[in-house]
Amino acid sequence: MVDRKHLEEEAKATVEQAKGALKETAGGILGNPALAAEGQAERELGDEHKRDERRRSGLK
């Protein structure tokens, strides 16, 4: 069973992914490559955090 801490950490990673995707999209629409790159990096960091948390909690 997954405990509350793991669920909270995975939720934080999901929010990080969403914020990054939003910035990435906004940067593309606005023609702002710096914002798009920042968003991509933030999204990828959220992806990494989610993978790590799932590994720690035993999920795949």
User: Which tops the pLDDT comparison, 4 or 21?
Assistant: 21
Q: Which residue has the tokens 């909690």?
A: 57
- Distance from the Cα of residue 11 to its chain's centroid: 9
Please tell me the distance from the alpha carbon of residue 32 to that of residue 39, in angstroms, as a whole number: 11
The residue extents of the domains of the chain are 4-57
Upper half-sphere CA count for residue 23 (Cβ side, 13 Å): 18
Res. 59 pLDDT band, cuts 50 70 90: low
Question: What would the pLDDT profile of 17-29 be if each residue is shown by its tens digit?
Answer: 999 999 999 999 9
